[in-house]
Structure 1
Amino acid sequence: MAHQTDIEIARAAHKLPIQEIGAKLGIGAEDLVPYGHDKAKVSQRLIESVRNHATGKLILVTAINPTPAGEGKTTTTVGLGDGLNRIGQRAAVCIREASLGPNFGMKGGAAGGGHAQIVPMEDMNLHFTGDFHAITSAHNLLSAMIDNHIYWGNGLEIDQRRVVWRRVLDMNDRALRDTVTSLGGVSNGFPRQTGFDITVASEVMAILCLATSLGDLERRLGDMIVAYRRDKSPVTARDIKADGAMTVLLKDALQPNLVQTLENNPAFVHGGPFANIAHGCNSVMATTTALKLADYVVTEAGFGADLGAEKFMDIKCRKAGLSPDAVVLVATCRAIKMNGGVAKDDLGQENVAAIEAGCPNVGRHIANLAQFGVPVVVAINHFLGDTEAELAAVKAYVAEQGVEAILCTHWAQGGAGTEALARKVVEMAEGGTAQFAPLYPDEMPLWEKIETIATRIYHAGEVTADKSVRAQLAAWEAEGHGHLPICMAKTQYSFSTDPARRGAPSGHSVPVREVRLAAGAGFIVVICGEIMTMPGLPRVPSAESIRLNAEGLIEGLF
């Protein structure tokens, strides 16, 4: 079976009607809004009705720094959810939705892989239930209303040079990064320079994933700063009177989506903020609802633990009042060898020395996670080419860090391949040793928060920024935004801001290029080094090999 592609395995799955999946969590058919036979949204009524239920155990799955060799974080999240159900726990999985941009680019989808997948895989990786289209439409409605307001006399006295709200598209399209709009004469408005970001980088996406109710959603949308006047005072979406209409466009998108794993276990797939730009976690609505319905909720945060886990702890958990009970750190021998300096084409050969050279990356993440007061276990996601000597070297290194490493074979065996990991996670969560605390307090000054993340998580020697950046932070503090957490935007490939510096670099400089206030989402975005909010397609995009076959079935998605 192992030679089958992900899409072939997903297509062969025996799916249960979504009502049967809901029943496993005690959700009645009347509280599911079906999208076909195998996916549904969970009603607002149910979400409200379970708010006072007991809260289950929250397990975070994160990883070492990503490499082109692959780590399998989503695959492990799904496999662990299946493994927990196999050992008798009522478990649900919570992950993000896939963005079309990376799907047709290089990264592929976000439904897991092998025999640890969420289905319907094709739907999830394409239009799904339309959430991303709703976010794109709501975001661009606001864009249109800003330019329209300026066209019809600009009653708010917006400085057209200081419109900070860009447009979005859920596609990788470098040609749209920097654009000029409103050319072609008086009737088309006033020309200005602007651009597009990818939808998953939109503040509307971040807000959807942090909102706790429709009312909270509308309030946050209204708080978004879209432009500034000549006196530098902010103009919000509420000033433009767009918040009500945007909420209408997002009312269905706010409801979490319920689907299933290959082993017919419940999975909530909702929201999809990028982790190198935004906060990289699935929605608070999905996670908190799942915690009221299941004994165990397994969720993932995007990219490596330096980005995803830090933001999960310092932004999502802080804002939603969540407290994780255990963390699973995913690693593969291939990725460790790549961190040890091996080229991708040479990863198939046994190289214990490269494992030993790359393991400090694993150690750095273990030590970083320990700072949050939550117990950690390392999951070694098994690849067929791994050798006994390489696996033994990883286990020995991890043991020296005072943590256990468990070999997981879920890609080939599904939940049966994660039973040992599931038992360890239950032992850790039930042990009650977690004493979760964010990395920094709300009242710490903004610049110190940036330095705290850079020094304690990235192990940087210094943080640099223009005077204008520090002045901007000071101005925001004076305006009452000093309590907000920091959302670092930096490369996912390294602890530094240089994507080529693998392993565990220390003493490097973190240059802060720009800071942005996401007043609706409730965090400060700190852009470090060269980071793109609109990706481009690679030389040979995945889209070139995605097509319908003679039977009308999709091929080439992964």
Structure 2
Amino acid sequence: MSEPTSDIAIARRASKRPITEIAARLAIPAEAVIPYGRDKAKIDVGFLRGLADRPSGRLILVTAINPTPAGEGKTTTTVGLGDGLNAIGKRAAICLREPSLGPCFGQKGGAAGGGHAQVVPMEDINLHFTGDFHAITTAHNLLAAMIDNHLHWGNALGLDPRRIVWRRVVDMNDRALRDIVQSLGGPANGLPRESGFDITVASEIMAIVCLAADLEDLEARLGRIVVGYRPDKSRVYARDLKADGAMAVLLKDAMLPNLVQTLENNPAFVHGGPFANIAHGCNSVVATRAALRLADYVVTEAGFGADLGAEKFFDIKCRQAGLTPDATVIVATVRALKMNGGVAKADLGREDVAAVARGAVNLQRHIGNCQSFGVPVIVAINHFGTDTDAEIAAVRAAAEEAGVEAVLCRHWAQGSAGILELAEKVAALADGGTARFKPIYADETSLLGKIETVVKDIYHGVAVTAEPAVLRELESFERDGYGHLPVCMAKTQYSFSTDPGRLGAPSDHVVHVRQVRLAAGAGYVVAICGDILTMPGLPRHPAAEAIRLNEEGLVEGLF
């Protein structure tokens, strides 16, 4: 029998161990494991509370260059590095986000790694998993229902129906729901008004679940959600509707981190899943803190390229949770760098060293950006079969020119055996004590100043523009005591600019902020730039067209 090459075929051949055995590798006792079947589980809240006084392991962030259709492999490298660290005798755990059904059935596909560097059960993780996203969707829509119910029964809080900002969510790409008129059909159906849907991973509740320290913090954050405004522009909060308690009840189990395993039976926490282009793009603080108390090395990722995921990991997640990262791995591929150098996707199989060198400016900018946070950097070259020695040498040279080392990794094809060199060097980097982590702006910097800092220091743009209404909104946030919050930049993931077609490292662009939103529960201010959408649409040929059950009842077409 030939070796399977599709991700799902490789995952299906995995020799999985009972989840209690995986937990035992991290000294999690059986009584603290809440099984969801044989191969996935949640960890009991009482056990998690008992970890608070334990020393913390080393935190390693895996990020990447800007994503391209050629593929980068950030999640695959995160899983591979975790396996590699365990293979060299380190006690390591992995922390990933949960995939969203929208991209799974849309264009991106799943997010459980690939090849011989995956977390399993791959089908479950990419589909309904332990129901966390369903709980978040339900809690979000409960609040929406309570808002409309409040309007229906007299609107004692004086909400202005034109200024309700809390929309509904669904975990699917559906452009038809972006803007809707609701409550038609007469008085019994409520007050007609304009509204819309976002995708669940853009929900503020998703961000809250991923940033809350515990259940008490969760409920407090839920209460701080701004649902809308009165005619005098004063805010109405979820706690004013008495919705926070019921929402917390719905999210009680979703707050518990999920434990699964890699193909090599190493522990992986997969928990939470905010998008990185419209939210903060990191797995939960609860899972990360637990992993740091249970393992000596924790490998986590942040969504999309380092201009979005890494910046938000450092400036939002680490700031709020008090985390101090020890090393950063930037993933790049020869293929993606060639695309950044102007090569069409159809021509990526041909050697083009000059294009690699041209496109490497994207990698070099991400290296400099990550170094500006005071965290040491190393580059992982995720190997493809079409890469040539000369092209790989060009990537190494570009990294060396930027002051860091690039290591060739073959974990997709070989699992941990293909990433041992990177594992050794990452462990040494994390143990070296050279990290001097510091966010790139201070809490007391103005909100506009924070936006300008990200645009100029991370995106390397020349200026920020905004409509007068946006500037007034930022000033009102500051007057009301929210000026200390970090900013969450919502922009395209494909470019440093707001134009997804501008690859490489543009530096003459102006970033226009067209809208700002106060996410008081999550604890940040969202700045929406360019044409970014909070409800994606499906492509002309969505991945769902190829997903089906075979004659044995097994899932096919999921990737």
**Counterpart AA for 2:330:** L
Query: Counterpart of 2:58?
Result: 57
**Counterpart AA for 1:108:** G
Distance 2:428 2:27 in 1: 25
Query: Counterpart of 1:10?
Result: 11
Distance 2:346 2:243 in 1: 51
CA contact (8 A) 1:2 1:412 kept: no
Query: Counterpart of 1:290?
Result: 291
Spell out, residue by residue over 1:262-320, the C-alpha distance to the aligned partner (whole angstroms, 9 max, x if none).
Answer: 00000000000000000000000000000000000000000000000000000000000
Please report how far the alpha carbon of residue 402 of structure 1 lies from its aligned counterpart in structure 2 after TM superposition: 1.1
CA contact (8 A) 2:112 2:118 kept: yes
**Secondary structure of 2:265 counterpart:** coil
Indicate yes or no: 2:247 matched with 1:246: yes
Distance 1:360 1:214 in 2: 44
- Aligned runs of 1:453-468 on 2, under 5 Å? 453-468=454-469
Distance 1:541 1:365 in 2: 31
Query: Counterpart of 1:47?
Result: 48
Q: Which runs of 5+ in 1 are unaligned?
A: none
Distance 1:255 1:397 in 2: 42
Distance 1:537 1:548 in 2: 21
Please report how far the alpha carbon of residue 200 of structure 1 lies from its aligned counterpart in structure 2 after TM superposition: 0.2
Query: Counterpart of 1:529?
Result: 530
Query: Counterpart of 2:381?
Result: 380
**Secondary structure of 2:47 counterpart:** helix
Please report how far the alpha carbon of residue 468 of structure 1 lies from its aligned counterpart in structure 2 after TM superposition: 1.1
Spell out, residue by residue over 1:135-178, the C-alpha distance to the aligned partner (whole angstroms, 9 max, x if none).
Answer: 00000000000000000000001000000000000000000000
CA contact (8 A) 2:285 2:317 kept: yes
- Aligned runs of 1:368-517 on 2, under 5 Å? 368-517=369-518
Please report how far the alpha carbon of residue 512 of structure 1 lies from its aligned counterpart in structure 2 after TM superposition: 0.4
Spell out, residue by residue over 1:211-268, the C-alpha distance to the aligned partner (whole angstroms, 9 max, x if none).
Answer: 0010000000000000100110000000011000000000000000000000000000
Query: Counterpart of 1:165?
Result: 166
Distance 1:396 1:218 in 2: 50
**Counterpart AA for 1:164:** V
**Secondary structure of 1:158 counterpart:** coil
Identity rate, percent: 70
Q: Which runs of 5+ in 2 are unaligned?
A: none
**Counterpart AA for 1:288:** R
Query: Counterpart of 2:124?
Result: 123
CA contact (8 A) 1:138 1:249 kept: yes
**Counterpart AA for 2:125:** M
Distance 1:380 1:334 in 2: 10
**Secondary structure of 1:377 counterpart:** strand
Distance 1:317 1:18 in 2: 29
**How many residues end up aligned between the 2 structures?**
558
Distance 1:234 1:61 in 2: 38
Spell out, residue by residue over 1:531-551, the C-alpha distance to the aligned partner (whole angstroms, 9 max, x if none).
Answer: 010000000011011000011
CA contact (8 A) 2:328 2:378 kept: yes
**Secondary structure of 1:260 counterpart:** strand
Distance 1:541 1:322 in 2: 38
Please report how far the alpha carbon of residue 346 of structure 1 lies from its aligned counterpart in structure 2 after TM superposition: 0.7
CA contact (8 A) 1:2 1:114 kept: no
**Secondary structure of 2:260 counterpart:** strand
**Counterpart AA for 2:58:** K
- Aligned runs of 1:24-103 on 2, under 5 Å? 24-103=25-104
Indicate yes or no: 2:524 matched with 1:553: no
Indicate yes or no: 2:194 matched with 1:193: yes
Please report how far the alpha carbon of residue 6 of structure 1 lies from its aligned counterpart in structure 2 after TM superposition: 0.4
CA contact (8 A) 2:35 2:42 kept: yes
Distance 2:6 2:247 in 1: 40
Query: Counterpart of 1:257?
Result: 258
Q: With structure 1 as the length reference, what TM-score do the two structures score?
A: 1.00
CA contact (8 A) 2:102 2:173 kept: yes
CA contact (8 A) 1:272 1:282 kept: yes
Distance 2:400 2:472 in 1: 46
**Counterpart AA for 2:505:** A
CA contact (8 A) 1:117 1:261 kept: yes
Distance 2:247 2:256 in 1: 15
**Counterpart AA for 1:239:** D
Distance 2:409 2:357 in 1: 20
Query: Counterpart of 2:137?
Result: 136
**Secondary structure of 1:161 counterpart:** helix
Indicate yes or no: 2:269 matched with 1:268: yes
Distance 1:74 1:378 in 2: 15
Distance 2:369 2:442 in 1: 17
**Counterpart AA for 2:509:** H
Spell out, residue by residue over 1:177-228, the C-alpha distance to the aligned partner (whole angstroms, 9 max, x if none).
Answer: 0001000011111100000000000000000000001000000000000010
**Secondary structure of 2:482 counterpart:** coil
**Secondary structure of 2:15 counterpart:** coil
**Structure 1 stretches of 4+ moved >4 Å:** none
Please report how far the alpha carbon of residue 2 of structure 1 lies from its aligned counterpart in structure 2 after TM superposition: 6.0
CA contact (8 A) 2:356 2:394 kept: yes
CA contact (8 A) 1:494 1:500 kept: yes
Spell out, residue by residue over 1:35-55, the C-alpha distance to the aligned partner (whole angstroms, 9 max, x if none).
Answer: 000000011011101110010
CA contact (8 A) 2:4 2:10 kept: no
Indicate yes or no: 2:364 matched with 1:366: no
**Secondary structure of 1:472 counterpart:** helix
Distance 1:22 1:3 in 2: 29
CA contact (8 A) 2:226 2:235 kept: yes
Distance 2:145 2:431 in 1: 51
Query: Counterpart of 2:113?
Result: 112
CA contact (8 A) 1:226 1:237 kept: yes
CA RMSD of aligned residues (A): 0.6
Please report how far the alpha carbon of residue 3 of structure 1 lies from its aligned counterpart in structure 2 after TM superposition: 4.9
Spell out, residue by residue over 1:472-526, the C-alpha distance to the aligned partner (whole angstroms, 9 max, x if none).
Answer: 1111101000000000000000000000000000021000000000000000000
Distance 1:364 1:21 in 2: 39
Distance 1:406 1:247 in 2: 45
**Counterpart AA for 1:243:** D
Query: Counterpart of 1:335?
Result: 336
Please report how far the alpha carbon of residue 66 of structure 1 lies from its aligned counterpart in structure 2 after TM superposition: 0.2
